[in-house]
Amino acid sequence: MKINRRRFLKLTAATAVATAFGGLGFVPDAQALDRVAMLGPKWSRQTTSICPYCGVGCGLIVNTDLKTRRAINTEGDPDHPINEGSTCAKGASIWQLAENDERPPRPRYRAPYSTEWKEVSWEWALGEIAKRVKKTRDATFTLKNAKGQVVNRCNGIASVGSAAIDNEECWAYQSILRSLGLVYVEHQARICHSSTVPALAESFGRGAMTNHWNDIANSDCVLVMGSNAAENHPISFKWVTRAMHKGAKLINLDPRFTRTSSRADLHCHIRAGTDIAILGGLIKYILDNDLIQKDYVLTHTNGSTLVGEKFGFNDGLFTGYTKNGDDQDYAGSYDKSQWAFDKDSDGLPKKDPSLKHPRCVINLLKKHYERYDIDTVSSVSGADKQKLLEFYRLYSATGKPDKAGTILYAMGWTQHTVGVQYIRTMAMVQLLLGNIGVAGGGVNAMRGESNVQGSTDHALLWHLLPGYLATPNAGLADYKTYIDAKTTPHLEGAKDPMSAAWWQNTPKYMASLLKAMYPNATAEQAYAWLPKAEDGKTYTWLQLFDAMSKSEFKGFFAWGMNPACGGANAGKNRKAMANLDWMVNVNIFDNETGSFWRGPGQDPKKIKTEVFFLPCAVSIEKEGSIINSGRWMQWRYEGPVPRGESKSDGHIMTELYDAIRSLYAKESGAFPEPIKNLSVDMWKGGHGFDAHKVAKLINGHFTRDVTIDGKTYKKGTQVPSFALLQDDGSTASGNWLYCNSYTESGNMAARRSKEQTPEQANIGLFPNWAWCWPVNRRVLYNRASCDNTGKPYAPQKAVVRWDGGKWIGDVPDGGWAPGTKYAFIMQAAGLGQLYGPGRQDGPFPEHYEPMETPFKAHSFSKQLNNPAVLRFAREALAVADPNYPLVATTFRVTEHWQTGHMTRHTPWLLEAMPQIFVEMSEELARERGIENGEKVMVESIRGSVWAVAMVTKRLRPLTVMGRTTHQIGLPWHFGWQMPHDGSGGDSANLLTPSVGDPNTGIPETKVFVANVRKL
């Protein structure tokens, strides 16, 4: 039966009532409903959970009917320090995810060329998938590459997913995929925040949000740019408004006037894709007006470090550039050795604390941003000059030692072909102003999925192993070669006695990881079992789908993801899926990916792909941990049991793996050792997958009795902290960063005490609520909040302080005495990097136009686009194309999440936001003869979608380089599969291009060009 949106809403409302009261043995009439009574202990039990949507990580209370074990209600947890009982619309409607008749109760199968799904048993589905995995793996496994290097790689299967599963499931999933030999291992983080990690790691050493949600209240100036926090991270705004009540200024720069803008002291319209120009102008303003926090810059940054003579910059290109041919994915590359620091005879970078040397970083920085004067910046960005100056004045005032400014950003910055450099520019601003490591400061990457931080930490990405260890490549033939290559730069840095150069501990973390994955193998054996990437090749999301479009895979896992709507150039992804022999789609509901064969423009009778749909539990139906944007690891408990025959992701993956293992035990097959030896039996309890057991393994244990510094740790006891991990196989730890999260004292993520010392309470650290990596440190780089004597720059809101021979306050970034070790301990040189020579597209950020732009040239240089960009030369792009004159962007709304897979199936949310729309200015609408509320067609060079016109004053034409420029924006939450009658429209990603940042491959989905016409 086809269900349209109206009928769906009615049916689901009726189901909800019946479910809530079914357990009582009677169905009361509507007048007699007493929902509050149902929540009492006589009829229901309460469990705590964490919202499965955005990365704020709000606490929930879930009421479950004692008899039926179905959810009755979910609401905000009043004790939770972040949300204090409140939720946004998504958080408030989570019980509707669990109690939802759209959830398939058992697996489904779509046979080749079939026009319909067939319900099948779990046993049959898992058995058949296992056969296909083995057959494909055996047929496509490569022991050695063309150069004769050992690679032990399965080329025929790819995987995407997931940022929505628990930490324990992420870790298990990556272990399984790597034991099978997959290298195309990608997930949501690649397409949402992958640019954050290398940008922040290059600047500070770690790739995560530096502070946490409650800390925003400590800020004197909150900049929201590249995000719409009030709408997309709604509860985060509780802490923004709390800061404003204490006198903080809120500044918002955005192409649209949003709900965030409506609360801001200053809002400025900008052209999408020009943020580096604007922030480059801010750097110039700070330097020209001598507004840097000088002691901070000298003590904690590389501002005084000298750069070698080979570094240079000319008309948009840094030295060392080579252009690539069209047959290569990247447009060009740099020889980064030309950007090296000037080193002394010990190999350490030279410095000039007087800051007078013309090649010291601060002077090169001045020179680089000389061109970013206010007139040029205003002209390129279309931003009002006076508003820009006011922004510069307000924000740079946080350069005073006792003031702090913070930045909240999200996809508006990350999803660009210069996304890494967007974030780098702001990181540099924060270092110049002394805003890193301090309360109310930081660079706060707002994660949009509940566990995208955890899924990144646990490495569901081709280039990472858990804990940000690098995946091996073919040139690193054995364990020793790998360890030498990865530790040498840090051992070099450690020659400076002031530098902790923490990554020199890599051997301990890698050996412990391999022991957790393969407990009975030596590190050398286990390393040999890991798949090796080809030297110089990358396997990013865009390249994965490009390879799929060239029929390079037979099998594909879409685990908790919906790439038919969520990826850039979604039409290309949908077409590519028809080249697969088989696909496994694990999700709560059917979606546009699993059902791609019956989507618009597809003829199922011509599509060979077999599809297995496996229904998984929703978050409140299982136990495990997730980690929010602020790195708080929080434990969720099972409320209702999984509905129908659905299973937790952990159960699904381990049962599937058991089926694969038993095939390899029965029959011969390619390279079976990693499959036979993976630690999967250690992940299980009496009922299969056991989140506690995996969480304990991720933390790590001693594999034999070990004596360290005179203290003996017994075999089998939990390792208390990563400082105790060893490189000799005596410790196993699935992720060194999480070592300290599940100790002999218990599950730290489950803690719910709000006890704090007065210093901690002063800035709201909540060290006894949940757990935070690393080692429960709440503010990263916190020793940078103090001068070299351990005295806080801002004593009234100290994060740490040297007091009586020890640090008090937060857990310090190392317990060394003040002035003995630099604060940025993950950097080889120990300093915050204003000059960052490790990125693919330059040590200083530079403005380039987006890959699709209405302009043939810009005012900063002759180089139009990022010269190292990831692109597929055979795919056309519209540049200065009169057919596509509008600058277009995509965004999210409060009521929906990501591709809308979960929220479009939630009646309350679909009712509130039922279909795709396109925002446009009144001026543009007049030009096109479009009325508010009319259906229009939005077209790019790749595809088109219909949308309802939302004619608004929130967008306005800008004058850019002398030309009137119009912008439009669309939400990207919609898809043809739900509502079933197509009334929601389709994905805005049918319009966006397959082009990516050269550092990470993140697609440029936040700016492209389009046209809009009346239907």
Q: Which of 16, 20, 38, 51 binds ligand SF4 (CB under 6 A)?
A: 51
Nearest residue (CB) to ligand SF4, 107 versus 234: 234
- 408 near ligand SF4, judged by CB under 6 A: no
Nearest residue (CB) to ligand SF4, 163 versus 960: 163
Q: Which of 87, 142, 227, 999 binds ligand SF4 (CB under 6 A)?
A: 87
Closest distance of CB 628 from ligand SF4, Å: 8
Closest distance of CB 92 from ligand SF4, Å: 7
Nearest residue (CB) to ligand SF4, 226 versus 234: 234
With CA atoms as reference, report the closest residue to 450 among 54, 766, 883. 54
Dihedral of CA atoms 834, 836, 842, 845 in degrees, nearest 10, equals -30
Tokens of 335: 């020889």
- 90 near ligand SF4, judged by CB under 6 A: yes
Burial of 302 (0-12, 13-18, 19+ CB in 10 A): buried
Nearest residue (CB) to ligand SF4, 90 versus 249: 90
- 54 near ligand SF4, judged by CB under 6 A: yes
Contacts with ligand SF4, 804-833, as mask; x by CB under 6 A: ------------------------------
Closest distance of CB 80 from ligand SF4, Å: 10
Give ∠ CA 232-47-9 in degrees, rounded to 5: 55
Q: Where are the alpha helices (DSSP H) in 264-369?
A: 275-288, 294-300, 361-368
- 900 near ligand SF4, judged by CB under 6 A: no
Burial of 880 (0-12, 13-18, 19+ CB in 10 A): middle
Give me the residue label for tokens 């601003």. Answer: 429
Tokens of 58: 């709000």
Q: Which of 21, 43, 53, 657 binds ligand SF4 (CB under 6 A)?
A: 53
Nearest residue (CB) to ligand SF4, 77 versus 610: 77
Q: Which of 48, 83, 142, 776 binds ligand SF4 (CB under 6 A)?
A: 83
| Pairing mode, strands 332-334 and 405-409 | unpaired
Give the DSSP letter of residue 719.
P
Q: Which of 91, 273, 349, 914 binds ligand SF4 (CB under 6 A)?
A: 91
* Interatomic CA distance for residues 390 and 622, integer angstroms: 50
Closest distance of CB 643 from ligand SF4, Å: 21
Nearest residue (CB) to ligand SF4, 469 versus 909: 909
Closest distance of CB 270 from ligand SF4, Å: 25
Q: In the bound complex, which residue of the shown chain has the CB atom lying closest to ligand SF4? A: 91
- 906 near ligand SF4, judged by CB under 6 A: no
Tell me the C-alpha to C-alpha distance, in Å, between residue 812 and each of 210, 329, 778. Answer: 14, 43, 9
Percent of the chain as helix, strand, coil, to the nearest 5: 35, 20, 50
* Interatomic CA distance for residues 497 and 331, integer angstroms: 41
Are the C-beta atoms of 159 and 186 separated by less than 8 Å?
Answer: yes
Which amino acid makes up residue 422?
Answer: Y
Nearest residue (CB) to ligand SF4, 56 versus 694: 56
Nearest residue (CB) to ligand SF4, 57 versus 104: 57
Nearest residue (CB) to ligand SF4, 91 versus 316: 91
Nearest residue (CB) to ligand SF4, 103 versus 447: 447
Which amino acid makes up residue 161?
Answer: G
Quick one: which segment of 56-64, 162-170, 325-333, 944-952 binds ligand SF4 (CB under 6 A)? 56-64
Nearest residue (CB) to ligand SF4, 54 versus 452: 54
Nearest residue (CB) to ligand SF4, 136 versus 451: 451
Number of H helices, E strands in the chain: 31, 44
Contacts with ligand SF4, 1-40, as mask; x by CB under 6 A: ----------------------------------------
Closest distance of CB 250 from ligand SF4, Å: 18
Q: Where are the beta strands (DSSP E) in 501-657?
A: 555-559, 582-587, 610-615, 624-627, 632-636
Q: Which of 234, 399, 567, 943 binds ligand SF4 (CB under 6 A)?
A: 234
- 274 near ligand SF4, judged by CB under 6 A: no
Q: Which of 38, 71, 88, 287 binds ligand SF4 (CB under 6 A)?
A: 88
Contacts with ligand SF4, 57-76, as mask; x by CB under 6 A: xx------------------
Which of the residues 693 through 722 are near ligand SF4 (CB under 6 A)? Answer: none
- 235 near ligand SF4, judged by CB under 6 A: yes
Nearest residue (CB) to ligand SF4, 90 versus 424: 90
Nearest residue (CB) to ligand SF4, 53 versus 824: 53
Tokens of 778: 């709440």
Quick one: which segment of 3-11, 227-235, 588-596, 1002-1010 binds ligand SF4 (CB under 6 A)? 227-235
Closest distance of CB 283 from ligand SF4, Å: 32
* Interatomic CA distance for residues 832 and 436, integer angstroms: 9
Tokens of 407: 């930045």
740-745, long-range: CB < 8 A, 24+ apart: 740/699, 740/771, 740/774, 740/775, 740/776, 741/633, 741/695, 741/698, 741/699, 741/771, 741/773, 742/692, 742/695, 742/696, 742/698, 742/699, 742/718, 743/699, 743/718, 743/719, 744/717, 744/718, 744/720
Secondary structure of 553-572 in HEC code, one letter for each residue? CCEEEEECCCHHHHCCCHHH
Q: Is 516 left (phi over 0), alpha (psi -120 to 50) or beta?
A: alpha
* Interatomic CA distance for residues 301 and 19, integer angstroms: 59
- 411 near ligand SF4, judged by CB under 6 A: no
Quick one: which segment of 46-54, 631-639, 771-779, 877-885 binds ligand SF4 (CB under 6 A)? 46-54
Give me the residue label for tokens 């595809």. Answer: 943
Quick one: which segment of 52-60, 526-534, 604-612, 1007-1015 binds ligand SF4 (CB under 6 A)? 52-60
Interacting residues of 253 by C-beta distance below 8 A, sequence separation 6+: 223, 225, 267, 268, 270, 275, 278, 383, 391
- 129 near ligand SF4, judged by CB under 6 A: no
Closest distance of CB 90 from ligand SF4, Å: 4
Interface with ligand SF4: number of residues (CB under 6 A): 14
Closest distance of CB 949 from ligand SF4, Å: 28
* Interatomic CA distance for residues 737 and 466, integer angstroms: 8
For 863, other C-beta atoms within 10 Å of its C-beta total 18
Nearest residue (CB) to ligand SF4, 451 versus 538: 451
* Interatomic CA distance for residues 345 and 347, integer angstroms: 5
Residue 642, preceding peptide bond in cis (omega within 30° of 0)? no
* Interatomic CA distance for residues 335 and 320, integer angstroms: 5
Closest distance of CB 356 from ligand SF4, Å: 49
Closest distance of CB 445 from ligand SF4, Å: 15
Quick one: which segment of 232-240, 570-578, 778-786, 860-868 binds ligand SF4 (CB under 6 A)? 232-240
Are the C-beta atoms of 499 and 829 separated by less than 8 Å?
Answer: yes
Contacts with ligand SF4, 298-337, as mask; x by CB under 6 A: ----------------------------------------
Quick one: which segment of 51-59, 364-372, 457-465, 942-950 binds ligand SF4 (CB under 6 A)? 51-59
3-state secondary structure of 946: strand
What is the contact surface with ligand SF4 in residues (CB under 6 A)? Answer: 51, 53-54, 56-58, 83, 87-88, 90-91, 233-235
